[in-house]
């Protein structure tokens, strides 16, 4: 079971790791772009879960793309800007929301929030090499490619904590979300990225959506017997069955960016009936997001 940690200790360590607290900003994935869109479920979605947004559509969605660090002025081409983030908030018909929090690597460096805190504290203390030496999964994650996108819309994203889905007949499927860009993957080399403007990703998305919608397929990678569902450091084989849950269509840039950046709260554990955590880290992560949100609002002058 994931060990509880003090959310404030995690925020403090993230601040130190990224060079100091940034008032009004998220502790991590501070630089972002908010986009509006809709989700339409596939014919197969209702067979996976009775969750309301899998029954019919369209469902309005608010999407936030982001760079990795806690520095809101970070250049998009910076090597430390990856993994990129993609968070989705589905606005359900009954007035409630449900969220997906994903990033651009299929995996995570640690399996518990306690280890996450220890890793970030090591980064803040400049002792990360020692932490990596004693944590093989984190060392393997550090070595994974962290692709630099030509566009937020040409990169795949992975929600790495497994969930349990129950349909109207009581049948259960365990899986992990992934978002696949309809436009395909388009990446930049480090040299190409270094030559782009600091905010090239927001500008590119604005140009792209001015010409028409961008789309992602919401897929579910389904676990098989023996797959670790409680450890996000372990990626499942690509040969695992994937169910197409539907189409996410990005329609425009949100007009109230500053307000949205401060007030949007995405919670991995905000789940409707028909979806519940399979990985205990879902519930363990959620208080940290809430603490960052409360701090951000308290600093809003």
Residue numbers belonging to the annotated binding site for heme: 289
Q: Is 135 a catalytic residue?
A: no
The Cβ of residue 269 has, within 10 Å, a number of other Cβ atoms equal to 18
Report the SS3 class of residue 275.
strand
Closest CA to 267 of 293, 241, 286: 286
Closest CA to 53 of 37, 35, 39: 39
When computed from its CA atoms, the radius of gyration of the chain, rounded to whole angstroms, is 18
Helices (H), the chain: 7-17, 45-48, 113-124, 128-134, 136-143, 190-194, 200-211, 257-263, 281-298
Q: Which residue numbers belong to the known binding site?
A: 289
- Retrieve residue 144's tokens: 């994974």
Q: Which residues are catalytic?
A: 29
């Amino acid at each position: 079971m994931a060990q509880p940690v003090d959310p404030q200790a995690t925020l403090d360590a993230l601040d130190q790791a990224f060079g100091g607290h940034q008032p009004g900003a998220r502790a991590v994935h501070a630089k972002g772009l908010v986009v509006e869109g809709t989700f339409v479920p596939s014919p197969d979605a209702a067979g996976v879960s009775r969750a309301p947004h899998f029954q019919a559509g369209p469902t309005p969605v608010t999407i936030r793309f982001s760079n990795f660090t806690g520095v809101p002025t970070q250049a998009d081409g910076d090597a430390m800007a990856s993994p990129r983030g993609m968070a989705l908030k589905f606005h359900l018909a009954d007035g409630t929301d449900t969220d997906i929090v994903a990033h651009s690597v299929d995996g995570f460096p640690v399996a518990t929030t306690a280890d996450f805190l220890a890793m970030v504290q090591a980064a803040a203390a400049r002792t990360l090499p020692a932490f990596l030496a004693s944590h093989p999964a984190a060392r393997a994650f550090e070595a994974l490619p962290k692709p630099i996108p030509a566009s937020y819309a040409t990169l795949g994203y992975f929600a790495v904590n497994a969930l349990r889905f129950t349909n109207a007949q009581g049948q259960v499927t365990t899986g992990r979300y992934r978002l696949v860009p309809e436009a395909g993957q388009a990446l930049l080399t480090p040299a190409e990225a270094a030559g782009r403007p600091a905010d090239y990703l927001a500008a590119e998305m604005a140009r792209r959506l001015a010409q028409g919608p961008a789309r992602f397929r919401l897929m579910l990678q389904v676990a098989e017997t023996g797959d670790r569902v409680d450890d996000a450091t372990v990626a499942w084989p690509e040969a695992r069955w994937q169910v197409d849950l539907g189409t996410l269509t990005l329609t425009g840039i949100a007009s109230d960016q500053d307000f949205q950046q401060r007030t949007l709260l995405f919670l991995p554990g905000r789940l409707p009936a028909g979806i519940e955590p399979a990985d205990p880290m879902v519930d363990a992560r959620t208080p940290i997001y809430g603490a960052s949100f409360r701090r951000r609002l308290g600093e809003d002058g």
